[in-house]
Chain A
Amino acid sequence: MRRASAPGSTPLAYVHGLLRSTSPRRTRADSRQLTCVDSVYTAGVAITLNDLAQRTGVSPRTIRYYIQQGLLPSPGGMGPRAAYEEESLLNLRLIRHWQDHFLPLAEIRARLEALSIVEKERVLAGVGDSEAPSPKMAEVTSAAEVGESAGDYAAQALAAATPRERPRTSTTVGPAPGRSIYERLVLSPDIELHIRRPLTRTANRQVDALVAEARRLFTTT
């Protein structure tokens, strides 16, 4: 489901609304079962893997995958008693948020590394969200406004694949050879910034600041 609002409103929340506005005799179902989409968490309380999954709607298997990929901090302890930090909850919500905007995991990892816990909370609250315009955010922009053809985009997406990923081509169609992974950020319809990934945490912050300043400059001139 696509959300155009801050976290917290869900179809299940609608059901809660119905329950609040109807008489107790109708509320036979157990509303505690609806906590899987609850966006509230308690500071300082250890969270289990199942808690994390229920609160975020992300399966335990996927959570373990994210830990392997460095998107979430490792839990304290092993097995069923493993305790997760609040930051894992924040990260999972941010991952889902950015995945909704079709950002690749590598980019999401870079963003998570660059943000403090407070900054993550601000992004989730919709304050100071530093997200770059993504395909989703600009989805309804007309093709003419994009300033780049589909063919050019597809060719560049292929060229951005890693050398390991880049296969041989038997025709003129396909990527040019290369050695580095570059992320391409469009600052304005005529100006792009190419960034070789991965960057250090400090460099990520500097790039974010540079992009924010550049976008401000180009949108005001």
Chain B
Amino acid sequence: MKPLPPATTLLIQPDGLLIPANGGQRLLRLVLRAPLLPRQGERKPLSLGLIIDRSGSMSGNKLGHACEAVLQALARLDERDRVAVLAYDTEVQVVQPAGPVDATCRQQTARALKLLRTGGSTDLGLGWLSGCTEADKGRGDRLGRCFLLTDGLTNAGIIDPVELSGHAAALRQRGMVTSTFGIGDDFDEAMLGAIAEAGGGGFYDIARGEGIIAAVQRELGEALEVVATGVGLHLRLPPGAQIEVLAPYAVSHGAAGPIVALPDLVSGQELSFSMLLTQAAVPVGTTLPLTLTAVSTTGTLAETTVTFTADEAGTCARQELDRQVLMAAAQAMSAQARRQATRSNQDGDFDFAARTIGTTTRALEMMADSAESPELAELARGLAKEQEVYGAPMNARARKDRYFASTNTVMSRTVSGESVRVPPP
């Protein structure tokens, strides 16, 4: 990969520059690259809420590893930062009230965590929202972060995933980003994934208790290297055009066009995703500019424009298509189909899960055929082989592995759930 430039860059790749004048579509791949954090000492201070599920199922080594993860997180912070530590089952226990991370805070937290015992059911909403309340106290201009560690299905309090996701989005809007850490085989991956997606943070699938510390450290490391917050991609579309984002980022309608809400950017991050542009009929020869502007709370990060031309359908059909762009979109479609199929499988709706995979497989076959692309054909064959797997009962671990992997693909994250980074030169 190329060395990073000193500022954010925005690259847009269309699969072709000609659009049928009688109306047509183009796929685009967008790549947003963040600059490196100038110096570690210039990082933004954090106000971090660490929330531990202490329900009965956390007994054994899971609670111990979660407590150790908290202590190691505190060891990485300093007096610029604030932290609050809470534990919950159907009640909330404030392990460490919000305050600066100093030696006293670390000692008090360590003592309190030693006394922590597992309890009853899981009221995730209570624990998480209480944690956000506490972590927000005295936050000031610090970055708000809430890490939710849980191993079970929420079975008390607010249990509607849509409602929880709505709260996550609202909290993100108010500066509190939520990351979720699912531990073991019994948590609801779709729910925790949705909370993190709406909340702007990472989602981590942790198969065994031993993995908790590493996952928390990875997410904390990203929070300590944020270079841009409140990031949005503003699109100015050609007249008569519509856009669809092939990734689970929220889209709103601004005065000048759609706005895609993106997560905070971390040092050296490369964020990429695909989009589908649909253009209404226009006269042959019309130029169709599409302008994308990446903005953050501090102003414009980068801007770029791609200009399409309307042409006869036959001419458009003969243009050479960029196979890298097609492949990126096909991978996004595959990953999204896997996510949907996983949810249906989780619901016990195996037939629907298989059909979801089958439909996307056929779509990929058509793309491969039309673009005469062996790579796309191979992708379609690979997906076809999975139809049987999703169409039968799947054990919880296998299902979580698949959900996590496909989520990482659509969210432009690595296999371990971290943001993709360009190595420093």
Interface size in chain A (residues, C-beta < 8 A)? 73
Contacts of B347 in A (CB 8 A): 59, 61-62
Annotate A14-41 by CB proximity to B: 1 below 8 A, 0 otherwise.
1101111111001111110110100000
B242 with A171: CB separation less than 8 A: no
Interface size in chain B (residues, C-beta < 8 A)? 91
- Closest partner residue, chain A, to B121 (CB atom): A167
B365 with A29: CB separation less than 8 A: yes
In the complex, identify which listed stretch (A75-83, A96-104, A190-198, A210-218) lies at the interface while the others stay far away: A96-104
A168 with B90: CB separation less than 8 A: yes
Annotate A36-62 by CB proximity to B: 1 below 8 A, 0 otherwise.
100000000000000001100101111
A140 with B133: CB separation less than 8 A: no
B242 with A5: CB separation less than 8 A: yes
Contacts of A148 in B (CB 8 A): 174
A102 with B24: CB separation less than 8 A: no
List B156-185 residues whose CB lies under 8 Å from chain A: 156-158, 160, 162-163, 165-167, 169-176
Annotate B362-392 by CB proximity to A: 1 below 8 A, 0 otherwise.
1101110111100000000000000000000
A138 with B252: CB separation less than 8 A: yes
- The 8 Å CB contact of B162, one of A99, A142, A152, A154, is A99
A173 with B173: CB separation less than 8 A: no
Contacts of A36 in B (CB 8 A): 355, 359
- Closest partner residue, chain A, to B94 (CB atom): A171
Interface presence of B32 (CB below 8 A): no
- Closest partner residue, chain B, to A172 (CB atom): B94
List B226-259 residues whose CB lies under 8 Å from chain A: 230, 232, 235, 242-254, 258-259
Interface presence of A12 (CB below 8 A): yes
- The 8 Å CB contact of A11, one of B24, B156, B198, B329, is B329
Contacts of A118 in B (CB 8 A): none
CB distance from A206 to the nearest CB of B (A): 24
A105 with B160: CB separation less than 8 A: yes
Question: Given the known A-B contacts A10-B244, A60-B352, A105-B162, are A157 and B167 also in contact in the complex, defined by CB atoms under 8 Å?
Answer: yes
- Closest partner residue, chain A, to B351 (CB atom): A60
Q: How far is the CA of A67 from the CA of B265 in the complex (A)?
A: 42
Q: How far is the CA of A174 from the CA of B210 in the complex (A)?
A: 31
CB distance from A60 to the nearest CB of B (A): 6
In the complex, identify which listed stretch (B33-41, B66-74, B124-132, B401-409) lies at the interface while the others stay far away: B124-132
Q: How far is the CA of A83 from the CA of B176 in the complex (A)?
A: 46
Question: Given the known A-B contacts A17-B24, A140-B232, are A153 and B370 also in contact in the complex, defined by CB atoms under 8 Å?
Answer: no
- Closest partner residue, chain B, to A173 (CB atom): B130
- Closest partner residue, chain B, to A9 (CB atom): B278
- The 8 Å CB contact of B130, one of A1, A14, A149, A154, is A154
Interface of A is mostly: loop
A150 with B90: CB separation less than 8 A: no
- The 8 Å CB contact of B174, one of A27, A61, A146, is A146
Q: How far is the CA of A175 from the CA of B197 in the complex (A)?
A: 26
B317 with A33: CB separation less than 8 A: no
Contacts of A31 in B (CB 8 A): 366
List A84-115 residues whose CB lies under 8 Å from chain B: 99, 102-105
Q: How far is the CA of A13 from the CA of B176 in the complex (A)?
A: 37
B371 with A18: CB separation less than 8 A: yes
Annotate B20-58 by CB proximity to A: 1 below 8 A, 0 otherwise.
100011010000000000000000000000000000000
Question: Given the known A-B contacts A11-B246, A12-B363, are A59 and B344 also in contact in the complex, defined by CB atoms under 8 Å?
Answer: yes
Interface presence of B261 (CB below 8 A): yes
A173 with B94: CB separation less than 8 A: yes
Interface presence of B336 (CB below 8 A): yes
Interface presence of A199 (CB below 8 A): no
A139 with B160: CB separation less than 8 A: no
- The 8 Å CB contact of A19, one of B170, B243, B253, B366, is B366
Q: How far is the CA of A183 from the CA of B250 in the complex (A)?
A: 23
B166 with A150: CB separation less than 8 A: no
Interface presence of B148 (CB below 8 A): no
Q: How far is the CA of A33 from the CA of B380 in the complex (A)?
A: 15
Interface centre among B130, B133, B261, B356 (most CB of A within 10 A): B133
A158 with B126: CB separation less than 8 A: yes
Question: Given the known A-B contacts A12-B363, A60-B352, are A139 and B172 also in contact in the complex, defined by CB atoms under 8 Å?
Answer: yes
A161 with B157: CB separation less than 8 A: yes
Interface presence of B220 (CB below 8 A): no
Interface presence of B297 (CB below 8 A): yes
Q: How far is the CA of A134 from the CA of B317 in the complex (A)?
A: 41
Question: Given the known A-B contacts A26-B369, A173-B134, are A2 and B313 also in contact in the complex, defined by CB atoms under 8 Å?
Answer: no
Contacts of B278 in A (CB 8 A): 5, 9, 13
B25 with A1: CB separation less than 8 A: no
Q: How far is the CA of A172 from the CA of B92 in the complex (A)?
A: 9
CB distance from B230 to the nearest CB of A (A): 6
Annotate B310-345 by CB proximity to A: 1 below 8 A, 0 otherwise.
000110110000000000010011001000100010
Interface presence of A219 (CB below 8 A): no
- The 8 Å CB contact of B126, one of A59, A60, A138, A167, is A167
Q: Can you name 9 A-B residue pairings with CB atoms under 8 Å? A: A1-B245, A3-B251, A21-B317, A33-B358, A59-B347, A61-B348, A151-B139, A158-B129, A165-B157
Q: A17-B25, A59-B352 are in contact. List 20 more A-B contacts (CB 8 A).
A: A1-B245, A18-B371, A21-B20, A21-B314, A22-B370, A23-B317, A27-B366, A34-B362, A34-B363, A36-B359, A59-B347, A59-B349, A102-B198, A103-B162, A104-B162, A104-B163, A165-B156, A168-B90, A170-B91, A170-B92
What 6 A-B pairs come out closest when comparing CB atoms? A5-B242, A151-B136, A102-B166, A135-B169, A150-B176, A4-B258
Residue numbers of B with Cβ under 8 A of A are 20, 24-25, 27, 86, 90-94, 123, 125-126, 129-130, 132-137, 139, 144, 156-158, 160, 162-163, 165-167, 169-176, 198, 230, 232, 235, 242-254, 258-261, 276, 278, 297, 313-314, 316-317, 329, 332-333, 336, 340, 344, 347-349, 352, 355-356, 358-359, 362-363, 365-367, 369-372
